[in-house]
Each structure stands twice: as C-alpha cells, then as structure tokens.
Chains A and B, each alone.
Chain A
Amino acid sequence: MATTLPTWTALGPALLLGITALVLLIVDSIDPDTSNSTLLAGLSTVGSLAAFLFAGWLLVSGTGQPQTGGAITLFDDQLVVDGMSLFFALIVTSVATLVTVASHDYIADQPYQAEYYSLVMMAATGMTLMGSANSLATGFVSLELASLPSYALVTFLKKNRGSVEAGLKYFLIGALSSAVLAYGISLVYAASGHLQFDAVASAVANTEFVGVLGIGVLFVLGGFAFKTASVPFHFWAPEAYEGAPAPISAFLSSASKAAGFVLAFRVFTTAFPELAGLAGGPVTVDWVLAVEVLAVLTMFVGNFAAATQEKVKRMLAYSSVGHAGYVLIGLAALGGAPDKGFVLGASMMHLFIYGFMNTGAFLFIGLTEYWDIGRTFQDFNGLAKQAPLASVAMTVFLFSLAGLPIGGGFFSKFYLLAATAQSGTWILGAALIINSALSLFYYTRVVKAMWIEEPVNDFEIDSYPAGIYTAVIVAAVITFLLLPAFGLLSPSAVTGAAALF
C-alpha cells in the first residue's frame, strides 16, 4: 500500500456495523412510526455489505497477517486484528447481509422495524468484536453485546406466544450461562492475575492454583458452549431457533455460533495452550479432552434428536447443534496434530460454508412461513412443483449440510475428517462419519417431501417475495460455488489459524 491507513481502521467492519445501527436509531427517532421497510432494510444491507467488503479487502490486502507485520493490537492489547478475526468478520457480515435482505419481506407487516434492524446490526457488531477480543474482559463485553440484542430479536414477534416463550427461555439460560462464564473468568483472574490472553498464558504456566484455574477453565468452556449451542448448554437452541422469526434463527444459528467459536478458539489457543500441553509441556488442565467429550456428545445428541423431529425448522435447529459438534473438532483434535493450523482451519472453513448453507436453509423456512404452508415434513410435500427454484436451492443446502459433493460442505467435512485422521483422534472421526450418515437420512426426508411426494392439501403460492428469494438464491449459488472455490479460501483460513500457534 502506498499510504498506510491508521491502525484503528482495522476495526472498520465492526465500526461500520455499529455506525449503521446508530443511523438506524436516528432514522427511528426522526420518524418513529415509519414502516418504510425498504429504506430500513436497504440501510442495514448497505451497512453490512460495506462491512463485508471492507473485511474482505482487509483480509486480501493482508492486514494483521504475517506478510504485513503480524497482528495489529489496539487499546493496550485489548483488541486484536489478525487473519482469524477478519475471516470471522467475513462470516458474520455475510450472514448479516443475507438476513437483512430476507427480513425485508419477512417482517414487512410488523411494527417497530427500525428497532429490529438496529438490534441486528448491534448484535453483528458484538459478534465481529468477539473475533477481535484479546482479553477476557473485552471478550465478555462483546459477547454480551451480541447476546442482549439477540434475546430481544427472538421475542420480536410479540403477538406470537412461541416467539415470546422462546425468548424468555433463551434469556434465562443465557443469564445462567453468562453467570457461569463471568464466574469462570473471575477464577482464571484469581489464578493468574491477568485478563489479557497472552498475559494469562504466561502467568498460568507455573501457577500453584491448579484447582481454581481448572474450575475456571471449565466454567469458561461452559460459557462458550452456551454461545455455540453445544451440549450440555444447548437446551435453549431448539426452542429459540424454532420460536424466533426465521431470519433471526438463521442469524443466531450461523453468525452467533461462529462468533462463539472464534472467541473460544482464541481463548483456548492463546490463553490456555500450555495447560493442555499444546506447547509441549506437562498437561495440567486437560481442556482438549473436555472439548473432545463435548464434541462427541454434541454430535450425537444433535443428530439423533434431529432424526426424530416432525417439524422441519426444529430439525434444522437440532442439526445446528450437531454441526457445533463438528466444529468443536477444531479444538478437540489439536492434541496430537502435527499441523495445528490445518486442524483449526478446517473448523473455520466449516463455519464459513455453514454460514451460507445453514442461513440459506433457515431463510427457506422463512419463505415457507411467509407462504404459511405449515411446519411439518408433510406440509412440504410437492413444494417443488410450486417453487422449483427455491426447492433446488434448499436441496443444495441440505445435501451440502449432509456433506454431499454438491456444495462446499463436502470439502469442509472432508477437511475435518482429515484433521481427525492427522491427530489420530479416531473417536472423533468415527463420530463424524456416523453422524453424517445419520444426518443424510433426515435431510433427505425434506428433499423427498419436496420433490417426490404428492401434496397432501392444496395450497397455491400467490406471491414470490423478492427479498427472501434473492437471499436464498444467492446463498445457494455461493454454497455451490464454494465447492470449486474451496481451494481458494482454505489457505487464508489455515494461515489465519496457524498464526495463533
């Protein structure tokens, strides 16, 4: 670059999202009763798209990466911008863009739309910041910044009992989990005397309070398990995803999950690596084993519960839990892996592709809710005759989620499997294979209903909402394109991950 931008611009994606949220609030205060949803959705789409492009440009130009001098730290090392934080900013902003585009039609008839969009933007800001958090304090604050708007968003359909009930449950479990996380942070602070990750890492290396530290580490793990909807902190997820407006389900299950993971990745690989002997020392607190247990449990619970659901949205909610289990492999397989960047990079790639295929699948559910055709598998019968294009897109999402080579999900699962093979954690690999096979069963049920079954009750689709359609088709095209383009992206994920070790 001829001229170097000031370092604070590295936080540009988060700043852009935050500014968009404020602009939306200004619009709301000027005209509180506005229902000009095109303006509001347009503003937030422009904001998130700008953030997306900015993050992409930063990533491509090498900001915060080894080739331009390594990670950029700000505010006395409280925040950091590197390859990984930019990679996750890409995930969050791309999901946010798809969600705001789709929301245009989905909430067109609802009041208080400006609040909806500004809450989405604030949550996105928090999620982006989670990727940049470099101390337990900023991590906790940004996590709460992401969580609090989420609770409100789940309950956004105030006349809908399901939405309100789900929001309340989400909030209660969220409060419990935040308490656990805050308690864990305080225990880690007690044992180390620091909150900044690198400082914690050097302080805990020879701490005498192993017990206090161990409990703290497990509590912190629990807090992140809540955010990523991993067992046993997953109970809120099926209820919240089912009750929330479909775009919000998409947002929470894709972007919020990714944000939870990036924070977990950073905390465990920069603050606690030596506890699990990743740097070669003795194992004091074996969090790798703990994550391994959680990963296997999460995969099995999520997929087995998904297999027996009658409602498609709830099935997707449980499958989202199962996918959290797959992503946990990135931490769980670190133990014996010679190339740790590859293992973590595989998880990052899976989250990236998951951001498109899962968002797309939930937005398709949003489309069916918009048409009001019902929630069960039977209600989807014969849908392909009425809406072939959307059904093709949904088929791509589902098969890619299952790991068939029709979308990028095939390669990311393959990389995860390769990661387990590399580290020799065969139990994770076996769980991945068994659960992928099982997941094919329940994903195929939707495809079968759409394409093969005859419709049970007559329904006529009279309108094709442009916003949701655009979002679904774009997500499908990207999911498909990520199959051939996987090799273009995976190096940035792997190098971004490798920079942490």
Chain B
Amino acid sequence: MAAEEIPLVFEFAPAIAVLPALSLVVALFFGEYFPKKGAEAGILATAGSLVLSLIMLATVAGGQTVNHELYTLVLGVSEETFGLHLGILIDPLSALMLTIVSLISFLVHVFSMGYMNDEGETGLPRYYGELGLFTASMLAFVMADNILMAFMFFELVGLASYLLIGFWFRDAGPPSAAKKAFLVTRFGDYFFLVGVVGIFATFFPATSTPGMFAGEHAFPVVAEHALAGEATVNTFGFEPQTWFTILGLLVLGGVIGKSAQFPLHSWLPDAMEGPTPVSALIHAATMVAAGVYLVARMYGFYALSPTALGVIALTGGFTALFAATMGVVKQEIKQVLAYSTISQYGYIMLGLGGGGYVAAVFHLTTHAVFKALLFLGAGSVIIAMHHNENMWDMGGLKEKMPVTYYSFLSGSLALAGIIPFAGFWSKDEVLFETLVHGLGTPTASSTLLLIGYAFGLVAVFFTGFYTFRMVFLTFHGEPRTDTAEDPHGVRWNVKAPLAVLGVLAATVGFINMTPVAELTGAHIEFLHQWLDMAPEEYLTNVHHYTEVLETASHYEAAHISPLAPGAVSLALALGGAGLAYQLYGTAAHPEPHTEKLGSIRTLLMHNYYLDEFQVWLATGVTYRVARAANTFDQGVVDGVVNGVSSVSLFSGSRVRRIQSGVVSNYASLITLSLVLLIAFFGIMGGWF
C-alpha cells in the first residue's frame, strides 16, 4: 500500500486534523493574550479544516481517493507478526463526514463567541483548547484507515467530551455528569477494545494488515472470503459466521456507549450540564456520531452477520421509541433535545441494521445539520432567558427573536420529519429500507427488522409531538415570566450560524429524494451515487455492500413503492405535531397537559428508572463486589505480606544477635565457618 501513487492534494489530508490540534496548543497556552481568548485560533483552524475537507470532497468527486499509511507505530516483520500504523482513508464516506464535522465545528466555534465570550465566562482558553482537541480527535477518527487508530481517537473523543462536559467544574452538576459520561462510554469501550484485539487475533496471519478498513487485505474483505471458504482465519473453534457476529457485537459495545443507545444512553441527557455549544458538537457531529460512523465504516463486516444486523436494527428501533417517549414530558428545552438525539441515533442504527447503508448515512448527515441547528437555537434561547432552560418559563419569544424562531422552526420541521425538510427524506428512507428488507428477507431476521420498523414508526408520532410541544411552549403564546417578556438580545455571531444551518436544514434533504426519484424516474439520488463511487478495490461501495448483504445475510428487498410508507410516516408526524398544536399551540397560556398522564409521567420523568437501576448496579452490586475484593486484599493478601515482613524482622533480629560486639567471638566464628566450608567442599571434592 505504500507503493501506490498518492495524488498531491491528499498530502494535505492530515492537516485537517492537525489544524484543530494546533489550535488546542495555541488556545491553551496563548489564548489569554488574544482579544477573544483563543476563539480566533479555533475559528481559523476549523475554517481551514472545512476548506480542506471541501477540497477533499471535490477531489473524491473527481474520482480520486486515498488509503495510505502515514506513520508506523510498530513495524511488522513479514510473516511473523503484523505492524501497527496510523494512516488515512479518504473515500466518499469519510470525505462526507469530514465536511460535516468541520462545518459544524466551525459554526460552533463562531457561536461560542456569542455564548461564552459575550456572556463573560472565565477559563476561555481552556474551553477553546478543549474544543480544538475534540474536533481534532473526531476528524482523525473519521480519517482513520484501521480499527486500532480508530479506537485510539475514539478514546480521545471520549476524553475531550469528558473535559468539556465538566467545563464548569466548580459547580456540583457538571463534574458528576462528566464522570458519568466517561464511565458509561468507557464501559462500552471496554468491549470495543476486546473486539479490536479479537479482530487482530482473528485476521492475522490471513492478512498482514488485519486492522485495515478498506482494500483487498482489509478485515471485512478477508472475513467475506473466509465465509466463502476462500481464506482461513483463526476463529477460536467457532463457526466463522458465529465468530464474526461475536466480534461485531463486541465492537458494537463501544458504538452503543458512544452513540447513546439503550441501555448505555443514560449519560447523554446528563451531558447537558456542559456549555450548550458543546452539546451541539457532541450531539450533531462528534461524540455521538462517532459510534454510528464506526458501524458505517466497517459496514462490510457487519453485513456478513445477519444476527449482528438484527441486534443493531432492534436496538436502534427500540431506542428510537424509548427515548422519544421520555422526550414527551421533559420541561427543559435541552433535555427534550437530548432525548431526541438518542431517538434519532436509534433511527440511524435501525437503518444500518435494516440494510439501509445509504439511508443511515443520509440520516446521519441531515441529523447533524438540524440537531446542531436546534442546539444552537436552544443556546440562543438560553442566552435570551438568562440561562433559564425551563420551557414553562418561556413563551412568546417568536416576536422577540425572529431569526432564532424561524431557523429553530426549520430545524424542528426537519426533526419531526415534515415534508420537504431534511429529516423527512432521510427518516423516511431509513424506515422504508427497513420495511422492504423486513418484508423481502426470507430468513428469521425479517421479524427483527419488522419489529424495529414498528418501533420506529410509532416513534415518528412521538417525535412530532415532543418537537412541536417544545416549539409551542418556547416561542408561542404569551410570555410566562418577566425574563421572557424582556429577553436578552443576541448578536451576529449567534444569528449567522443559525441562519446557515436553518437554510441547510430545509434543503439538505434534497441530496437523496428517493420517493421523488421513484415517481419521476430521474436519477437524483445523489448521495447513493456518491457513496457508490468508492473505488472497486476498496470494496466499500454501496453495490458491494448490497451484494454482501444478499449473499451472507440473505437480505432481499421487497418491491413496493416508497410512496405509501412515506405517506404513513408523514401522517404520523403531522398527527403528533397536530396534537401538540391542539394541546399547546392554541391557548395563550397552555396547560401542563402531560401531568394528566399521572404515574406514566412519573415513570417517564424518571427515565423508566434506568438511572436508579444503574445506580443500584453500581452501589448494590459493584460496590459489594469491590468491598469483598477489598476484604480479600486486606485480609489475605496484606496478611501474607505482613506475615512475610514480620518473619523477616524476626529473623533479622536473630541475625543481629550474632554480632555480639566481642571480638574473640568474631574470630572464633570466622574460624569455625572457614573450617565448615573446607570440610564441606573437602568431603564433596574428595580431597581427604
């Protein structure tokens, strides 16, 4: 792979991640001396990354890609062991993701000037430095050409989010939320790490580069050959397909933790304790996106295992519905958005599991745009409300802040999935792909897909409801408090990112309008064509994945029109939105209707008591085990150690007594031991 000719432009690819890393250094150490406390460095760096990413996008569109080793960590000795390296893989998928990440990160940096600088926060150099680290890690993760490098930067993303969630570490909430985010995602990453080791152990020596994502020697491809009986890999006594399922599920542990899927989703709502721009970054483009991006990156591997796909689809569908129900009763604007993120990533997982690779990437793209928009809009509202986040204290903000309102509305329509906003097209395609594969696949996994589809479809209704409940409570009706009566104004640096994203949220869905393509027969599924452009030798293009899905997992698509399912999901979304309008949109002072839900509301407000369950797991089970281990350590291990030391000291005091201080004793002892020595060796050596 080192021998291949690299187009010159890709020599600059590492700079995409290096620029934000430089901004980390500059902001952290010299931020104090800048008028904006380091924001300049971050904005310049992410703008540079964005420009470079766009160049990459254009280059990839021109048919050039790169999959190339940059830096060798451990040199592999051929035949005997494999090497470890850092490298870059730029194909349509990663080029697209790079653009999304650097765009969102750039806008978040700009917005931060309004949210942090203008609000007089302290510690800004640290803030911008950590943002730089966050962006750099995510960009490097996206570019990674092998799973070990991906894991390393996956962990750095986790570290940066820990630092940023706990940015206000002097308050009570943020440090605890940061710890929770760190521990919960780390729990998943533990399985990921085992999976990485497993992948290396499995695919060496079948390939000398067992960790690679793309190419003839990449592990998904070797796994495919192994299933076809063309290659032998070390499967530790399992059937190849069973073993690949186990590996896939291990890696999925990290994905579930990072992408906040059930049951490791509980950290994400708490992570709202961090600054709102950070939430936007976490939810839209970095932390949470890293999980599903990993599945998309190694989709060729998951496509080999119908069980793993089924688990992904079911987890995704369930999470989509489960989180949406919790979003219905929340009172704080960011909490609603947090549960909507969990729910939307559920959809992406559903799409991946349901055989809709393009649909999932599509939803990942649109979601990044509209969720960043919603969070920044919420941030704008929070500035206006003097950092009061409770929606019941808002109301009537529509007239006071029109830019925020209209862009937020655009994002909400996209989130709810109302035609023609972005979310409609992508969510609809996710559901449609799941449905056709659920109906068409002859094997048992069709049931899993159909269950996942049902979950996802019901969740559409809830999504419509909670989204518009949020919009109506925040912006419509009469102001319910004095602060809402007279909100704090926001400047251009808040409005400009909102405007950019507001337009994108309305339009980005047009890149892959499958139903329209179906109706008119026009070739306008641009994203599909884009992802299918990956070079044949990488084996990461859409038609290859489709082929693998058919041969290995027996996924088959039923031939039905996308119009009817699309209409159903649109109707459900409108139904949810309409109900929200009925309950909250008509009255000037809406009633808190969800309180009528009684005990169900209590259950939802407590997030199905999952937090309590996890606390019980920690204190009731883990703590007890730890205490038992401690008792063992104190009693047995320390006992042995103490015993050894007291024996030593006792014998030491005995040895000491030989030293009597009387010199004639010494002389006789010396003589005696010399005689003993001679006697022993003399008899042994037969001298006498």
B682 contact set on A, CB distance < 8 A? 211, 214-215
Q: Roughly how many angstroms separate A247 CA and B648 CA in the complex, as a whole number?
A: 31
Q: Roughly how many angstroms separate A214 CA and B670 CA in the complex, as a whole number?
A: 18
B645 contacts A235, CB within 8 Å? Answer: no
Contact with B along A293-337 (1 / 0, CB 8 A): 100000011001111110000000000000000000000000000
Instruction: Please tell me if A236 contacts chain B, counting CB pairs below 8 Å.
Output: yes
Residues A308 and B653 in contact in the complex (CB < 8 Å), given A168-B663, A285-B681, A290-B681: yes
A211 contacts B674, CB within 8 Å? Answer: no
Which of B653, B682, B687 is most buried by chain A, counting CB atoms within 10 A of its CB? B687
B670 contact set on A, CB distance < 8 A? 173, 176-177, 222, 232-233, 235
Q: Roughly how many angstroms separate A305 CA and B649 CA in the complex, as a whole number?
A: 8
Residues A305 and B663 in contact in the complex (CB < 8 Å), given A211-B682, A290-B681: no
Choose from B651, B659, B677, B687 the contact partner of A290 (Cβ within 8 Å): B677
Contact with A along B653-674 (1 / 0, CB 8 A): 1011011010100110111011
Choose from B648, B667, B687 the contact partner of A210 (Cβ within 8 Å): B687
Instruction: Please tell me if A438 contacts chain B, counting CB pairs below 8 Å.
Output: yes
Choose from A222, A235, A308 the contact partner of B652 (Cβ within 8 Å): A308
B687 contact set on A, CB distance < 8 A? 210-211, 214-215
Instruction: Please tell me if B238 contacts chain A, counting CB pairs below 8 Å.
Output: no
Instruction: Please tell me if A441 contacts chain B, counting CB pairs below 8 Å.
Output: yes
Instruction: Please tell me if B678 contacts chain A, counting CB pairs below 8 Å.
Output: yes
Q: A172 to nearest B CB, angstroms?
A: 5
Q: Which of B611-660 contact A (CB under 8 A)?
A: 645, 648-649, 651-653, 655-656, 658-659
Choose from A180, A210, A304 the contact partner of B685 (Cβ within 8 Å): A210
Q: Roughly how many angstroms separate A177 CA and B667 CA in the complex, as a whole number?
A: 9
Q: Roughly how many angstroms separate A336 CA and B661 CA in the complex, as a whole number?
A: 40
Instruction: Please tell me if A286 contacts chain B, counting CB pairs below 8 Å.
Output: yes
Q: A437 to nearest B CB, angstroms?
A: 9
Q: Roughly how many angstroms separate A448 CA and B666 CA in the complex, as a whole number?
A: 34
Instruction: Please tell me if A274 contacts chain B, counting CB pairs below 8 Å.
Output: no
Q: Which of A262-301 contact B (CB under 8 A)?
A: 284-286, 289-290, 293, 300-301
B673 contacts A286, CB within 8 Å? Answer: no
A379 contact set on B, CB distance < 8 A? none
Instruction: Please tell me if B236 contacts chain A, counting CB pairs below 8 Å.
Output: no
Residues A284 and B685 in contact in the complex (CB < 8 Å), given A180-B674, A235-B670, A301-B655: yes
B663 contact set on A, CB distance < 8 A? 168-169, 172-173
Q: Roughly how many angstroms separate A211 CA and B688 CA in the complex, as a whole number?
A: 7
A308 contact set on B, CB distance < 8 A? 649, 652-653, 655-656
Q: A32 to nearest B CB, angstroms?
A: 33
Q: Roughly how many angstroms separate A293 CA and B682 CA in the complex, as a whole number?
A: 15
Contact with B along A208-231 (1 / 0, CB 8 A): 001100110011001000000000
Residues A304 and B667 in contact in the complex (CB < 8 Å), given A210-B687, A232-B674: no
Q: B687 to nearest A CB, angstroms?
A: 3
Interface of A (DSSP majority class): helix
B671 contact set on A, CB distance < 8 A? 176
Instruction: Please tell me if A239 contacts chain B, counting CB pairs below 8 Å.
Output: yes
Question: How many A residues, CB 8 Å from partner?
Answer: 36
Q: B398 to nearest A CB, angstroms?
A: 66
Closest to A442 in B: B652
Q: Roughly how many angstroms separate A202 CA and B684 CA in the complex, as a whole number?
A: 24
A172 contacts B667, CB within 8 Å? Answer: yes
Choose from A222, A233, A285, A438 the contact partner of B648 (Cβ within 8 Å): A438
Q: B49 to nearest A CB, angstroms?
A: 40
Choose from B649, B656, B674 the contact partner of A219 (Cβ within 8 Å): B674
B649 contacts A307, CB within 8 Å? Answer: yes
Tally A-B pairs: CB < 8 A.
Answer: 82
A467 contact set on B, CB distance < 8 A? none
A218 contacts B677, CB within 8 Å? Answer: yes
A306 contact set on B, CB distance < 8 A? 652
B688 contact set on A, CB distance < 8 A? 211
A304 contacts B674, CB within 8 Å? Answer: no
Instruction: Please tell me if A83 contacts chain B, counting CB pairs below 8 Å.
Output: no
Choose from B648, B649, B674, B681 the contact partner of A286 (Cβ within 8 Å): B681
Q: Roughly how many angstroms separate A177 CA and B656 CA in the complex, as a whole number?
A: 22
Closest to A177 in B: B670
Instruction: Please tell me if A496 contacts chain B, counting CB pairs below 8 Å.
Output: no
Q: Roughly how many angstroms separate A118 CA and B677 CA in the complex, as a whole number?
A: 39
A236 contacts B651, CB within 8 Å? Answer: no
A169 contacts B649, CB within 8 Å? Answer: no
Q: Roughly how many angstroms separate A211 CA and B683 CA in the complex, as a whole number?
A: 10
Q: B676 to nearest A CB, angstroms?
A: 9
A286 contact set on B, CB distance < 8 A? 681, 684-685
Instruction: Please tell me if A18 contacts chain B, counting CB pairs below 8 Å.
Output: no
A177 contact set on B, CB distance < 8 A? 670
Q: Roughly how many angstroms separate A300 CA and B647 CA in the complex, as a whole number?
A: 13
A304 contacts B655, CB within 8 Å? Answer: yes
Instruction: Please tell me if A366 contacts chain B, counting CB pairs below 8 Å.
Output: no
Contact with B along A159-171 (1 / 0, CB 8 A): 0000000001100
Residues A305 and B648 in contact in the complex (CB < 8 Å), given A210-B685, A219-B674, A233-B670: no
B666 contacts A235, CB within 8 Å? Answer: yes
Closest to A215 in B: B678
Q: Which of B369-426 contact A (CB under 8 A)?
A: none
B648 contacts A307, CB within 8 Å? Answer: yes
Residues A235 and B653 in contact in the complex (CB < 8 Å), given A169-B663, A214-B681, A215-B682: no
Q: Roughly how many angstroms separate A293 CA and B677 CA in the complex, as a whole number?
A: 10
Q: Roughly how many angstroms separate A486 CA and B134 CA in the complex, as a whole number?
A: 41
Q: A147 to nearest B CB, angstroms?
A: 16
Closest to B671 in A: A176
A307 contacts B652, CB within 8 Å? Answer: yes
Q: Roughly how many angstroms separate A491 CA and B625 CA in the complex, as a whole number?
A: 52
Q: A300 to nearest B CB, angstroms?
A: 8
B666 contact set on A, CB distance < 8 A? 169, 173, 235-236
Residues of A within 8 A of B (CB): 168-169, 172-173, 176-177, 180, 210-211, 214-215, 218-219, 222, 232-233, 235-236, 238-239, 284-286, 289-290, 293, 300-301, 304-309, 438, 441
Known: A173-B663, A222-B670, A235-B670. 13 other contacts (CB 8 A): A168-B663, A176-B670, A176-B671, A210-B687, A214-B687, A215-B682, A289-B681, A290-B677, A304-B651, A305-B656, A305-B659, A307-B648, A308-B653
A-B pairs with beta carbons under 8 Å apart, 21 shown: A173-B663, A173-B666, A176-B667, A211-B682, A214-B678, A214-B687, A215-B678, A215-B687, A218-B681, A232-B674, A233-B670, A235-B666, A286-B681, A289-B681, A290-B681, A304-B648, A304-B651, A305-B659, A308-B653, A308-B655, A441-B645
4 A-B pairs with least C-beta separation: A211-B687, A232-B673, A235-B666, A308-B652
